[in-house]
Amino acid sequence: MKTDLIELDVTLTRDKVPVVFHDKKLHRTTNGKGDVQNYFERELNELDAGKWFSSEYKGTQIPRLEDVLIWASGTISLNIEIKKEAVTIAQKNGIVDCINELVIEHNMSDQVIISSFSREALRRFRDISPEIPTAYLISSYSFGTTKAYQLMKTMNASGLNMKPRQMRKKLMQLVKKNKVPVWVYTVDEADEMADVIKKGATGIFTNRPDLLRQVASRVLKNHQK
């Protein structure tokens, strides 16, 4: 897997097209209203998903997951978070299967990690594609106990995604002992980056990759002395 990794969130349109979108509803980052899942792909294509951020990006459309996979192929890895609200009781032909088909079609199995708060989604993904790594997103309400590790094992997941405050000593000792990768989100301050690295994070999700590179280089260099 590539060293550089981008985290993104995926949900389904009404006509079952996986699209990259963080929120359940459209209004915060587009000129649309309502739930993403109530729209057909062609309707979402008419929305402006860039102007809210900067006039420079006016007219930007909500990207399809397939377009992102094509863009990233061979160059960068992806942590694909399956939105919990997109997971249905009838898993077959749902979001998990749609994502899996695209990943395999574009030969990205060795460039992706599939993560989710949904245990059902992770179990389904491991059932249909056991070779693709998965990560259990610990609930934001969890204190980071060793129970998270046990839940991860019941889903046969490959790793854990968590917040910095959830990196409790007993949990980190357990994952280190069992060589379980841990990705931590979202860390944008230098001091917190350094602390997370020292606690044993495998990777960090950040809006400041430039700063993270500087901090990681310094901390790891000092650690090797």
| pLDDT (tens digit per residue) in 118-134 | 999 999 999 999 999 99
pLDDT of residue 91: 64
Mean pLDDT confidence for 211-225: 85
Provide the percentage of residues in the chain whose pLDDT is more than 70.
Answer: 96
Which comes out higher in pLDDT, residue 45 or 142?
Answer: 45
For residues 103 and 69, the answer to whether their CB atoms sit within 8 Å is yes
Look at residue 139 and tell me whether its pLDDT is greater than 90: no
Q: State how far Cα 119 lies from the chain centre.
A: 14
- As a whole number of angstroms, the distance between CA 206 and CA 90 comes to 34
Question: Do strands 182-184 and 159-162 pair parallel, antiparallel, or not at all (unpaired)?
Answer: parallel
Give the domain 145-225 fold.
TIM Barrel (3.20.20)
For residues 9 and 20, the answer to whether their CB atoms sit within 8 Å is yes
Residue 50 is inside which H or E element, if any? none
DSSP-based helix, strand, coil % in the chain, nearest 5:
40, 15, 45
pLDDT of residue 159: 97
Residue 145 confidence class, pLDDT cut points 50, 70, 90: confident
pLDDT of residue 1: 67
Q: Which of these, 11, 28, 27, 31, lies nearest to 19 by C-alpha position?
A: 11
pLDDT of residue 225: 55
Question: Which amino acid, one-letter code, is at 95?
Answer: I
pLDDT of residue 73: 94
Residue 96 in 3-state DSSP?
helix
For residue 210 the two structure tokens come to: 């430039």
Mean pLDDT of the residues in the chain: 93
Lowest mean pLDDT across 1-10, 70-79, 194-203: 1-10
For residue 139 the two structure tokens come to: 């609930």
Size of the chain, expressed as the number of residues it contains: 225
Mean pLDDT confidence for 32-55: 96
pLDDT of residue 140: 82
Instruction: Quote the pTM value.
Output: 0.92
Provide the percentage of residues in the chain whose pLDDT is more than 90.
Answer: 88
pLDDT of residue 214: 95
For residues 37 and 86, the answer to whether their CB atoms sit within 8 Å is yes
**What are the Cα distances from residue 165, in Å, to 8, 139, 140, 184, 187?**
22, 12, 10, 10, 11
Residue 88 confidence class, pLDDT cut points 50, 70, 90: confident
